[in-house]
Amino acid sequence: MIDIYDVMNVLAAQRSAYHSEADFQHAFAWEVHRRLPMASVRLEKPILANGQTLHLDFLIQTVECKVAVELKYKTRKLLVEVDGEEFRLADHGAQDFGRYDFIKDICRLEGIAANLQNCEGWAILLTNDSMYWRPSTNERTNDAAFRLSQDRTLYGTLGWGANASDGTKRNREANLSVDGKYTLQWTDYAAPSSGNYGQFRFLAVHVPKRV
């Protein structure tokens, strides 16, 4: 239906950085609409899955199929000018929460694919923070189960380390259960700066149709 990697390549040629996650989402939605002008592209679409109402970033729907998409944009502090436009990116930090939330997106998409007829999913994370793609030097960290390093395979039940404090797990206490198996492959996006945190990469995880 739609080539997510081609969409990201076209976006990278047009926009090497975004001011915010909402800015990224808007650019993504516009490119999808440009490619599929007859498709329904709904933002924050409520979906009923496993007895819960989930608010999805995007639901792209044609007569052939549906594609559910969740987008994340995580940045380190960067000041850069691109084509005369100044970007002052925030330092989001909290990579443990960012990893947890991305895997939770995958779990949500699995639930949607299992409950919505002829629907596949994509979870996409765009970042200039190398801590997301670099392998950890300490496999005993509290968030080791949620690491998103290159070539890692996500599957099974994932939880915090035994020594994780209540503050570390705040509002994210529950284990995450990944039904499928996903080998993580990071792709270069753009490099608007040659300095620290000037390289953006993205991770795209495909959740196949279930029903």
pLDDT of 158-169, one tens digit each? 999 988 888 889
User: Cα(58)–Cα(40) distance, rounded to whole angstroms?
Assistant: 10
For the chain, counts of helices (H) and of strands (E): 3, 10
Q: Within the chain, which residues score under 50 in pLDDT?
A: none
User: Cα(169)–Cα(138) distance, rounded to whole angstroms?
Assistant: 19
pLDDT of 9-36, one tens digit each? 999 999 999 999 999 999 999 999 999 9
User: Cα(24)–Cα(119) distance, rounded to whole angstroms?
Assistant: 23
Task: Output the six-digit token pair for 132.
Answer: 């997301």
pLDDT for 135 equals: 86
Residues 6+ apart with CB under 8 A from 6: none
The position carrying tokens 């995958």 is 106
pLDDT for 21 equals: 95
Q: Please answer whether residues 145 and 158 qualify as being in contact, where contact means their C-beta atoms are separated by less than 8 angstroms.
A: yes
pTM: 0.94
User: Cα(186)–Cα(148) distance, rounded to whole angstroms?
Assistant: 9
